[in-house]
Amino acid sequence: MLIECSLIIYDLVSPVRKELVSHRSYLFTQIVTGKYYLCVSNSTYANRIHYDIAMLEKILYKNIKERKMGLLFKDPKQVLMATADSSEMLYLFYRQLNDIIDGKNIIIGKRHNLPKIEHNENCYNLVRYSNPLDSNVFDNILLKINHLSKIVMENCDLPKIPINIGNLPIRYLSISGSNIPTSQFDQNIYWNWMSMKTISCTLVVLKINAIGLKLLPFELLFLKNLQSLSASKNFLTFLPHFIAEMKKLNRLIVADNMLTYYPDRLSRRSFKTVDISNNLFDVPESLRFKHLTKYLNVFGSLKRPDKELNVKPLSHLSFYSLIKTRIPFIRQDIPQTLWLFYDVVGRCAKCNKCILPDYSVISHRNGLPRAINLIKDQNTINIPLQFLLCRVSRHLCVRR
Ligand SMILES: [Zn+2]
């Protein structure tokens, strides 16, 4: 079984009290020649550390509901303090460790745990790891479970997510570590399920870690009640400003990407957790505008009779109204060039008006995201916060 967590490793014998650093980590169990091991994998220990579970002296489980668990080992004399992403998963992990200690014959999948389906009277959870997902099974069985509320399909082959999944009242969805399609066509229709009415109201937690993502899909905007978005270990080079439109979001995990800035409007809101560790915030300022290049390549060369855009093009007006109303639609229903608008749209830092780059100047100030639990690199004091100001001709916004 595998869980995702923030992990601190205390060495009880080391005479030097080093500063303790928490690392985003995977904790998982493994069986090698009949012996059970607990493995840790993170950016510091990419080759994994193995702990013999027979050496586990004590499990500190009292704060398990707060997602925290400690593991005290005799050899090496170390304590692992884990803060898991999910208390449910942590509890299952704790139970599995106990079963191993009790000498029960635990079957551990080669990569992770075996599929497990749990349910109670009103709500079904589907937890599925490792096994390639048979899309027919998905369509025919899964979509008939009307009360499915949790789907975990991690480390699967996931060439498509049927749009009808959006008709289920799912609150928690994780596809972390799964293989998403590589063809542009399949990628373009991959997120259509987010536009469906039911899931756009019910989804609270979405985990899309380590799926090779280069861009956050703008359909995220349709998920009105999303509180937790986890998109770490991807190839994101920028965070679109539209994330600030997601009013319920209070947990944002974007560690281990290639982000060069953080949207200023997001930093003005208080989050429960923000993880921005291991990104590229130190790059020269010019690289922080890279997300604009595609947009400018498409629209910058357009010859317009009214260069100052005193009369806004219809495409801009209709796009603003899409942002304002946030009525879900399928992305194929609007011209593909307009998809680019979502990557660059923002709001003026002074008057809060929704603006495209054609009507704004983009700049940075130094600061940090506001979060009760802010996870960042140890030596990060400030990061660039990107903001937009509306501009008419050469005049900047003066409204407060
Ligand atoms: Zn303004």
Q: 322-370: per-residue pLDDT in tens?
A: 998 888 999 999 988 889 999 999 999 999 999 999 889 999 999 999 9
Contact call for residues 55 and 75 (beta carbons, < 8 A): yes
State the chain's mean pLDDT as an integer: 84
CA of 388 to the centre of ligand 1 (A): 8
Burial class of residue 139 in the structure, from the number of CB atoms within 10 Å of its CB (0-12 exposed, 13-18 middle, 19+ buried):
middle
Residue 328: CB atoms within 10 A of its CB come to 19
> Does the N-terminal peptide bond of residue 305 adopt cis geometry, omega within 30 degrees of 0?
no
- 281 forms bridges with which residues in the sheet? none
Ramachandran sector of residue 256 (left: φ over 0; alpha: ψ -120 to 50; beta: rest) = left
CA–centroid distance, residue 390 to ligand 1 (Å): 4
Residue 35 alpha carbon to ligand 1 centre in Å? 64
Tokens of residue 157, six digits: 């082959």
Report how far ligand 1's centroid is from the alpha carbon of 34 (Å).
66
pTM over 0.75: no
354 CA from centroid of ligand 1 (Å): 9
- Tens digits of residue pLDDT in 30-49: 877 778 889 888 766 666 78
Q: How many residues does the chain have?
A: 400
Q: 61 falls in which pLDDT band (50, 70, 90)?
A: confident
For residue 234, the Cα-to-chain-centroid distance in whole angstroms is: 9
The DSSP secondary-structure symbol of 157 reads B
Q: What angle do CA 220, 226, 232 make, to 5 degrees?
A: 70
CA distance 195 to 223: 8
Cα four-point dihedral sign 26, 88, 20, 261: positive
- The region of weakest confidence among 126-135, 290-299, 300-309, 316-325 is 126-135
